[in-house]
Structure 1
Amino acid sequence: MSLQKATLLILIILLVDQVSKIYIKTHFTLTESIEVFSWFQILFVENEGMAWGTKISDFVSFMSDRTAKVCLTVFRILAVIGIGYWLYKSIKLKQSKTLIFAVSLILAGALGNIIDSVFFGVLFDSSAGQVASFLPAEGGYDAIFHGKVVDMLHFPMWSGVMPDWIPFYGGQYFTFFEPVFNVADMAISTGIGILIFFNKRAFKTDEAANQSETP
């Protein structure tokens, strides 16, 4: 897989991710939802932390939420630099197409969420109780590096009270699948899934693969 093809894949995912987020941000109020199917909703939420809204300050008590937010954003930027270098080296060393495809997905997803974290705070005003405006005259809802990631894909496939015999969740109301995510999250999850389930194929070079197929 060439650098040009990998770049095109990343740009397509970024475009779909950002267009969907900007549309939701400028057409929905916070927590507004539309039921597409009984098991799929468009639900607008904002995430200022990591997965499932977890914050660094939840684990490091002496750190304020705002400092933790900046640290998380900086960490994401450094991670993207590392993933980008990994992708470049994989292409240069002619690693497998599976590996390059997976890393491209992860890089595209990470970039998509970084754009939200770095810029959305200054590009949009608040979505609480109103539809946000792009580049509002009075300024955005927060400073640079303090943006919130826009999520909108929700798949509540089943909801109900769990049987009492089930450990930990017995007798509690439970929804599967509860997390709300976005296109960037899907790209990251798919890329990681490929690396896990197709590990041997991913970390075999194309040259080695060709040699193994030669009688």
Structure 2
Amino acid sequence: MNTSSVSIKSAIAILVVICTLIADQIIKITVKTNMGLYEIINVTNWFEIRFTENDGMAFGMDFIGTMFLALFRMAAIIFFSYILYNIVRKNAPTGFIVCFSLVVAGAAGNIIDNCLYGLIFTESIYGMPPAHFVPIGQGYGSFLSGHVVDMFYFPLFEWPSWMPLVGGNVFFGAIFNFADAAISCGAVALFIFYHKLLSLDYLLKARQ
């Protein structure tokens, strides 16, 4: 095993995770403390900042409880962190490690919202002033009950009204955050560029 190369790739993985988490939380906190719930900032004709919150999965989906989702995310982070450790030990390609690091960091970014935001923020309520920090434990919820902050919306175009099922709808109507984008970009890049390495045997067994 080339210990020098493994050390460098370990540092890259850690740096990607840390930078992604910092960027994600800076964006979320800035939006939550400066915008009212459902407030919209038009950046361009095809890009808006729309402050929303959700209890559910990525891209604003909301179909299971916040606490269950938070526990699921924790389990997923542990599992994917173990895989990341293994592929670094295997001295996998740097791009492969970066993509997996983005997935881990994205999942961790949203779990931070679930774990902490209910404890440290006042509740964001439509028509009311933006939320603000409060002493820990005096927020709008409890541990694992925080809402995930979403803000990016790209109404690129509307489907023609004559099209069945999708006619008149926005092409991409989801509202998402930086962590969601990290997960999606990392996962898509993995399947496009590194699908040959996505075997359970390769992912789950560290090089001795």
Report the TM-score, using the length of structure 2 for normalisation.
0.85
Q: Does the 8 Å contact 1:96/1:201 carry over to 2?
A: no
Alignment partner of 1:114 is 2:122: no
Instruction: Determine which structure has more spread, i.e. the larger CA radius of gyration.
Output: 1
Question: Which amino acid in 1 is paired with 2:79?
Answer: G
Equivalences for residues 178-197 of structure 1 within 5 A: 178-197=173-192
> Any gaps of 5 or more consecutive residues in structure 1?
57-67, 206-215
DSSP 3-state at the match of 2:141: coil
SS in 2 for 1:156: coil
**TM superposition score normalised by structure 1:** 0.82
CA deviations on 1:123-178 (whole Å, 9 max, x unpaired) are: 10111122101125992111110011101111111136x333x22234xx311221
Identity of aligned residues (%): 37
1:21 aligns with 2:28: yes
SS state at 2:158 partner? strand
In the alignment, is residue 150 of structure 1 matched against residue 157 of structure 2?
no
Whether contact under 8 Å (2:120, 2:136) holds in the other structure is no
- Contact 2:115–2:143 (CA<8 Å) still a contact in 1? yes
Q: State the shift of 1:201 in Å.
A: 6.2
Pick from 54, 60, 81 the counterpart of residue 84 of structure 1: 81
Relative distance call for 1:99 and 1:155 in structure 2 (3 A) is: same
8 Å CA contact 1:152, 1:181 repeated in 2: yes
RMSD of aligned residue pairs (Cα, Å): 2.0
1:55 to 44, 48, 63: 63
Contact 1:55 1:69 in 2 (8 A): no
Q: Contact 2:119–2:136 at 8 Å: present in 1 too?
A: no
Query: For residues 89 and 118 of structure 2, what CA distance do their matches in structure 1 show?
Result: 37
